[in-house]
Amino acid sequence: MRPMKQAVYSSRTADKFVVRLPDGMRERIAEVARNHHRSMNSEIIARLEQSLLQEGALDDDLSMRLDSPELSLHERELLQRFRQLAHRQQNALIALIAQDTELNKEDD
């Protein structure tokens, strides 16, 4: 799976949609989200994005391309190595970076 650019939005401004889940699905989503070190909302969004990208229903603009002129050679190498990681490793790395970012915000 290719990493997605993280959407910049506030929970106040984000579109909201109520979903009715079959019995037991909420608990399964919660468990998978914990294993991937993310919230249930983030897990659901990531899976929807992945599914829609695979079907071609979303533009490829959501993911950073290796041939993007915006990336330096070093950034391209990092992105390529990131994509070679297992999905679980990618999620763990993203969680660590997000945690570090939050800690830095608190320090400022």
Q: Enter the pTM of the model.
A: 0.46
Structure confidence by residue, pLDDT tens digits, 57-97: 655 444 556 666 777 888 878 887 887 888 888 888 888 88
Percent of the chain with pLDDT over 70: 74
C-alpha dist (Å) from residue 70 to 43, 44, 64, 67, 94: 28, 29, 9, 9, 21
Q: Which of 106, 105, 78, 93 is nearest to 38 (CA)?
A: 93
Query: What mean pLDDT do residues 30-34 have?
Result: 92
- Could you say which of 1.10.1220.10, 3.40.50.1370, 3.30.43.10, 1.10.3720.10 is the CATH number of the domain covering 16-63? 1.10.1220.10
Question: What residues does each domain of the chain span?
Answer: 16-63, 65-107
Q: Which of 58, 84, 93, 96 is nearest to 47 (CA)?
A: 58
Percent of the chain with pLDDT over 90: 15
Quick one: how far is CA 94 from the chain centroid?
A: 8
